[in-house]
Each structure stands twice: as C-alpha cells, then as structure tokens.
Copies of this chain bind each other. A is one copy, B any other.
Amino acid sequence: MVRNRATLKDVARRAGVSYQTVSKLLNRQIRLSEETERRIWKAIEELGYTPHYNARSLRAQRSFTIGYSWPPSPPDETNPILDQFLQSMFVAAEARGYFLLMFPYHYQVDKQLAAYAELIDAGRVDGFILSSVEYNDPRIRYLQDRKFPFVAFGRSNPDWRFPCIDVDGGRGLYDVTQHLITLGHRRIAVLAWPEESRVGNNRLEGYLTALSEVGIPVDHALILRGEGRLDFGYHATHHLLSLPLPQRPTAVVALNDYMAIGAMQAAQERGLRVGEDLAISGFDDIPLARYLTPPLTSIRQPIWEIGQQVIQHLIDIIETGVPPEPRCLLVPPTLIVRASTAPNAKASALSNSPSAKEVVNR
C-alpha cells in the first residue's frame, strides 16, 4: 500500500553496496556483476524506491510529461467526447510512466505558439497531443520546425506529413447517406460547417461520394453551412422545409448531433413526424441521442481507442525518435441506426426505454 519514501541510501544499505554504486547504476555509468546488479534491483523493488522525479528527469533529459490543450466548448454545449478522450489518454500514459499536463488554449496565434514554446523551453514536456486541427495549423508548422515530438488527433493540409490519427468522418457520412438512399431517399439535405472547416469538409466528401455513386446530382440548395450549433440546425431546417415542394428534402443529415436536435425541433414544430415524414441523422452519438423522441440515428467515434493510440504513438516517437508508419491512421466510425431515420427501428425504440435496441451497422 502507501509507503514512506525510501532513499538511495536505504537501497544501498539493503543491497550491501555503497551509495555511489547504486547512483552510478541508475545513471548507467557503471557495469556491475550480474549478481550485484540483481541485489540492487531487488532492494529497489522491496523498498518501493522511486527516484525523485526531478533527479530522474534531469538524468534522462526528459520530463515524462505530455502537454495537451483544447479549445473550450461554447457555453451552451457540452463537449461530448472530452471526458472519454482525456481518461483514455491518461490511462495509456500512466501505463508507460507518463502524465498529462494541461494548459489553456489561446486563439491568438502568437499567444498560442508562445504557450507551446514556453513548455518546450522550460523542459516541462516531452511531446504534445494536438486536437481541433485545422488547415495550415500553425502549431504543426511550429513543432515540425523545432523537431519536437507531437501526434495530432485530426488531419490538416493533404500535402503535410506528420503523425496523426483521425476518425474517417467521410466514411461516416458515406454510410449514413447510403443508408438513406437504400431507404428510398433522393432529396437529402446536409447541415454542414463553414468551408474553412477541415473536419467539415472531410465529412461532406462522404456525402458527395455516396450521392455520386448512385448518380444522384448534387443540389447546392440542399447544402447549408453554418456553425455547428443547435440554433443553426433549427433555422436551417425551417428554411429547408419552406422550400417549394419539389425542392424540399425528405432527409436531413447533420454533421453533429446538436444541429440534428435543432432540425428535429423545427420539423416537429411544423407538425412533421421525424423518421416518417422527415428522416434526420446526427454525428457524435452524444449520450442523449438514444433518449430523444424519436431516438436519433448518429455516428459514433471510437474515442477510447483514439486516446490510447495517440499516446502510444507519441511515447514511441519520444522514446525511439522514429515516427510511426503509416504516418497517419484513419479509424472508421460506427453508424448507429435509430428511429429518426429508420421507421422499422421504431417499434423497439419508441418506448424510450433506455434499453431500446439499437441497429448497429459495422
């Protein structure tokens, strides 16, 4: 259980060697007989000796610490993946003797880079995890210039090469669009993000691919872009539902669940039955998605796995100096079909009971 802290002297005494011998062994400055070395390691283990972090760290020229910073969620939303992502990362880090250091996210580029520079210069971290990565992300440029280890959760410019892991959001949108086409939908609207959103464009591509594969022409009146907030989904859907009947969509795919919830409210205000008169899907599979009326079809990201992998990759880079291959890993998300798109899933989901059966594709 909890131990009082043992010192180097205690270890030396128990192993029957001098203080200097133990110290030199731990600093790899000496070769000892196999027998002596074994005795020292045994004493270290039995006493539960932990080298003082600062001393260990000065020796190793490492801090055994990983820096992470992320943009705060807007005041009226909750970041649906944050807790799981953090927990997954620091569980993975602990298993390899590392900890995560958090620091504030600055939107101003020079302040942002200064925060990274300070942590590097002060020797406080051995590497960084980046998320919310965008096109021309200045953090990637800066860390590559300084040759400082990092792994990104997310891609950036297509021609940039850096270690990253990302959810294949395009695959998710492809899957849900194909699902709607299979159900007979031809006029499928999409609630997308602004054109400068890298994540938004990756997702949108999947929608476009699914349409073109079956020869449905793209109708730009059905692609609405805005901030990924509930109120945008609400107003955009009111707009879509006031289009002349031949142009009006029969399905709306949203790039996140908040927009989908806004879309559901707009549809319900107009007296439409979601899932029957208008199909609606989201992305993220927030905990409430399954409890909505009707339960919301959504796309789930494998966040736990991603948290584990970004840390494993980063520590590998820190400890070996070699970037992982493939440099960038794309992980497929999972389509969760519920009654908001699939009337046939309705019977099992309509009860709103938490055990409502889910149809999981892939």
Give the interface of A toward B (CB within 8 A): 1-3, 5, 50-54, 56-58, 63, 65, 72-73, 75-80, 82-84, 86-87, 90-91, 94, 99-104, 110, 113-114, 117-118, 121-124, 142, 229-231, 234, 261-262, 265, 268-269, 286-288, 290-291, 293, 352-354
Q: In the complex, are the beta carbons of A288 and B265 less than 8 A apart? A: no
List B contacts of A76 (CB < 8 A). Answer: 287, 290, 354
User: Taking the full assembly, how many copies of this chain does it contain?
Assistant: 2
Neighbouring B residues of A288 by C-beta, 8 Å: 261, 288
Considering the chains assembled together, what is the distance between the CA atoms of A3 and B113 in angstroms?
Answer: 10
Selected contact of A102 from candidates B3, B86, B234, B353, CB within 8 Å: B86
Given contacts A78-B80, A234-B353, contact A117 B54 (CB under 8 A): no
Instruction: State the CA gap A87–B102 with chains docked (Å).
Output: 9
Question: Which B residues are CB-close (under 8 A) to A290?
Answer: 76
Docked pose: A91 CA to B105 CA in angstroms: 9
A79 touches B87 (CB 8 A): no
By a CB distance below 8 angstroms, the chain B residues around A75 are 287
Q: Are A54 and B123 in contact (CB under 8 A)?
A: yes
Q: Say whether, besides A102-B99, A122-B53, A2 and B117 are in contact (CB < 8 Å).
A: yes
Q: Are A83 and B72 in contact (CB under 8 A)?
A: yes
Q: Which residues of B contact A83 (CB under 8 A)?
A: 72-73, 78-79, 82
The complex places the Cα of A244 from the Cα of B180 at a distance, in Å, of 46
Shortest distance between the CB of A140 and any CB in chain B (Å): 14
Contacts of A231 in B (CB 8 A): 353-354
Q: Which of A50, A53, A79 has the most CB of B within 10 A?
A: A53
Chain B residues whose CB sits within 8 angstroms of the CB of A229 once the complex forms: 354
Q: Which residues of B contact A53 (CB under 8 A)?
A: 63, 122-124
